[in-house]
Amino acid sequence: MKDIDDDVIRRALGHDTAAFEMIYRHYAGMVYRVAIRVTRSAEDAQEVTQQVFLSAHRHLGSFAGRSSLRTWLYRITMNCSLNAIKGRRQHEVPWEEGFDPQDPRHDQRENIEKESRLDEISRLLGHLNSDQRACLVLRAQEGLSYEQIARALNINLNTVRSRLKRARQTLISVNEEKRGGL
């Protein structure tokens, strides 16, 4: 995803409501996507998305431009998502990513396979602790570099490496257990 134009950011910093709305429209999907993958709850992801943009609006003046706006929003999203995990009741909902069974353009078999893959990803992510899940989502699903993850989560680069290594080891172990159980 391309970062939003610097002019829009400057206008939003100047309290231009239309510019902030452009920021919201540009990044809301990314924020929701990350939030649902980390929290594993559509309800929590919606709440996190609202919290992220309320926080961003309140604190936009503190955005210093040392990182991209996208990275800054990732950091807010991860903080809000991890707080939601800590403070919520535990329940899971399936991921919904554009699957509309009423839409004739969708091939039924393709949708079933996609839904099955998403369920499997959700199940696998459930084996990770929230810190590992956050790093893995940002790396594997959002395509961030290790350095970008470190900035987004405000952690040391070696901590990112360590969490990703442990996450991969856990997923390998889970996969091996699954194969052994068949």
pLDDT in tens, 126-164: 888 989 988 988 888 888 899 999 988 889 999 999 999
5 & 50 share domain? yes
Tell me the average pLDDT across 37-53: 91
Contacts of 168 (CB under 8 A, 6+ apart): 136
Residue type, 147: E
Q: What is the mean pLDDT of residues 12-28?
A: 92
83 and 118 part of one domain: no
Q: What's 132's domain CATH number?
A: 1.10.10.10
Q: Is residue 86 pLDDT above 60, yes or no?
A: yes
Residue pLDDT, tens place only, 101-135: 445 444 555 656 666 666 677 777 888 898 998 89
Q: How many domains does the chain have?
A: 2
Place of tokens 């926080």: 55
Same domain assignment for residues 74 and 117? no
Indicate whether 27 pLDDT > 90: yes
Domain containing 31: what range?
A: 1-93
Residues 6+ apart with CB under 8 A from 61: 13
Domain-embedded: residue 98: no
pLDDT of residue 95: 43
Note the Cα 165 to chain centre separation in Å: 19
